[in-house]
Amino acid sequence: MKKPLILIANDDGIFAPGIKALVEAVKGLGEVVVVAPDSPQSGMGHAITINQPLRLNPVNMFEGIESYSCTGTPADCVKLAKNVLFKDRTIDLCVSGINHGSNASINIIYSGTMSAAMEASLEGIPSVGFSLLDYSFTADFTAATLIAHKIARFVLQNRVHNLYNVNIPKLPLEEIKGIKICRQGQATWVEEFQEGTDPRGQKYYWLTGKFENKDAGKDSDLYALENGYVSVVPSDHDLTSYQVMEKLTGMEIL
Amino acid sequence: MKKPLILIANDDGIFAPGIKALVEAVKGLGEVVVVAPDSPQSGMGHAITINQPLRLNPVNMFEGIESYSCTGTPADCVKLAKNVLFKDRTIDLCVSGINHGSNASINIIYSGTMSAAMEASLEGIPSVGFSLLDYSFTADFTAATLIAHKIARFVLQNRVHNLYNVNIPKLPLEEIKGIKICRQGQATWVEEFQEGTDPRGQKYYWLTGKFENKDAGKDSDLYALENGYVSVVPSDHDLTSYQVMEKLTGMEIL
């Protein structure tokens, strides 16, 4: 049987420790190719580059693994892999991450990690975004690597769905209680802008914020993570609010 | 009664004709403030700026309307309006656009126009993204302006939902058949990268693509637009696939 082709992308950039962990996690599962941004792209959401050309440079980052750095966004990396590198081959799985920091709850909206996975899923490629709840550059990816391996294997073997948002608590493996299938928790960013004056006397604003869990449910990803579980949210790119559709039908707008 | 406070944003930038049309559309409905990017931000998805400071500059663009240009993304514009300009006031409505080109179907994922509206809706502000199916800089916004006025008035008066994706066909007003409440249509971008060599002999890739409607349903936004209707999709930021959640529950993953 042919080895499955596995694409790895991320948003922290090709030099981030998290992508190295992801290579370790999936290299035993198939033929692995890495296409990742050449610099950090956190908070890029589902940005794509349309007004500029993109570059794709082969790099020698991971032993024995074909790897490229890309000048674009996480979504651009997946588009280039699909349409330039593997025009004539099927990508069997796309994994993105492992992100340094949470993409649970509404963070999915802002997440470059999840945008790479979502882009692949829009192309029909089963995809998983992985995030570890540890922002540190020196985060310990030991448990996350093992969990990513198992979930990637599951998704390769079970074609139930095309897009998963996986978040892993910052805990040693023995303290992780298991995996929970969850819904996206409701939360909000209470934001402030740090105001300052630059060296030329011009005012600037710099985003800062505090994440607030607004969800009391025990089936949310936030609840799972707070209680020591890995959260797995099957996600979608159909944003229609079907309940509201029904409510609106028949209302006089024009 | 106090006039409602209406925030206008977009992704084509403060100099785009579409935002001028939107100012015209809503200026009779309340106190209008414009915060828009200082340059075009198409395809920015839900990008936010976290690693750089932002600037907010008062501009004199629209007669009698308080306006600011911002160095950030569409989502940044809304965050700055909410947290800097109107820290102590409630924004009653956010309208974004009028975008030059369609944001129907999966285009919502890539859309800066919709990201501004979505950002506002995450803050509990009723929001509408408007797009006209005409990419031209000299597009005729006459019909779109009238339609945006009526929909904005409806959303101000009827607090049914917080996020709408409105697309308007490229037709004179008398040929527009009405408004349809729709779901997000299924479609795909069949993409290619134009390959080239730059002046220094380096290879580049430039994104190009063809939109393909994959949806046979008569309740999709694509169907409505093709048949001369304005499409209104009530949209959501909960991306959970609830059906798949059920399927997965009980499956052995670890």
Residues of the domain holding B169: 5-184+218-248
Ranges of residues in chain B with a pLDDT under 50 are none
- Of the candidates A3, A62, A1, the one whose C-alpha atom is nearest the C-alpha of residue A30 is A3
Whether A199 is covered by a domain: the verdict is no
pLDDT at B251: 82
Whether A134 is covered by a domain: the verdict is yes
Residue by residue, DSSP assigns B124-180 as T--EEEEEES---TT---HHHHHHHHHHHHHHHH-TT-SEEEEEE-SS-GGG--EEE
Note the pTM of the prediction, 2 decimals.
0.93
Paired residues of B9 in beta bridges: B96
pLDDT at A253: 76
Whether A213 is covered by a domain: the verdict is no
- B122 in A contact zone (CB under 8 Å): yes
Ranges of residues in chain A with a pLDDT under 50 are none
Whether B205 is covered by a domain: the verdict is no
pLDDT at A250: 78
- A188 in B contact zone (CB under 8 Å): yes
Cβ contacts (< 8 Å) between B79 and chain A: which residues? 191, 193, 207
The CATH number linked to B124 is 3.40.1210.10
Indicate yes or no: CB of B240 within 8 angstroms of CB of A233. Answer: yes
Indicate yes or no: CB of A54 within 8 angstroms of CB of B193. Answer: yes
Checking DSSP bridges between strand B127-132 and strand B187-197, what pairing results, if any? unpaired
- Of the candidates B139, B140, B144, B154, the one whose C-alpha atom is nearest the C-alpha of residue B176 is B144
* Assigned token pair, B104: 């129907």
* Omega before B98 within 30 of 0, i.e. cis: yes
Whether B200 is covered by a domain: the verdict is no
Residues 6+ apart with CB under 8 A from A250: none
Indicate yes or no: CB of A237 within 8 angstroms of CB of B50. Answer: no
Residue A34's SS3 state is strand
pLDDT at A59: 96
Indicate yes or no: CB of A235 within 8 angstroms of CB of B235. Answer: no
Best interface-test mutation with A: which of B49, B189, B193, B249 has the largest number of A CBs within 10 A?
Answer: B193
Whether B201 is covered by a domain: the verdict is no
CA distance A112 to A225: 20
Q: pLDDT (tens digit, 9 = 90+) per residue, B176-229? A: 999 999 999 999 999 889 999 999 999 999 999 999 999 999 999 999 999 999
Whether A138 is covered by a domain: the verdict is yes
Cβ contacts (< 8 Å) between A76 and chain B: which residues? 207
Cα A140-A144-A147 angle, rounded to 5 deg = 155
Q: pLDDT (tens digit, 9 = 90+) per residue, B88-104? A: 999 999 999 999 999 99
Indicate yes or no: CB of B44 within 8 angstroms of CB of A47. Answer: yes
In chain B, which residue ranges form alpha helices assigned H by DSSP? 17-26, 74-80, 107-110, 112-122, 142-157, 221-226, 242-248
Indicate yes or no: CB of B160 within 8 angstroms of CB of A247. Answer: yes
pLDDT at B254: 66
- B40 in A contact zone (CB under 8 Å): yes
**How many structural domains comprise chain B?**
1
Cβ contacts (< 8 Å) between A205 and chain B: which residues? 53-56, 80, 84
CA distance B68 to B61: 9
- Which residues in chain B (13-32) have CB-CB distances under 8 A to chain A? none
Checking DSSP bridges between strand B163-168 and strand B127-132, what pairing results, if any? parallel
Is residue B99 within 8 A of residue B129, CB to CB? The reply is: yes
Whether B212 is covered by a domain: the verdict is no
Residues 6+ apart with CB under 8 A from B61: B14, B15, B20, B34, B67
Cβ contacts (< 8 Å) between A160 and chain B: which residues? 244, 247-248, 251
Cα A237-A239-A243 angle, rounded to 5 deg = 140
Is residue A173 within 8 A of residue A203, CB to CB? The reply is: no
Closest partner residue to A207 among B48, B196, B241, by Cβ? B48
Is residue A72 within 8 A of residue A91, CB to CB? The reply is: no
Closest partner residue to B248 among A106, A160, A237, by Cβ? A160
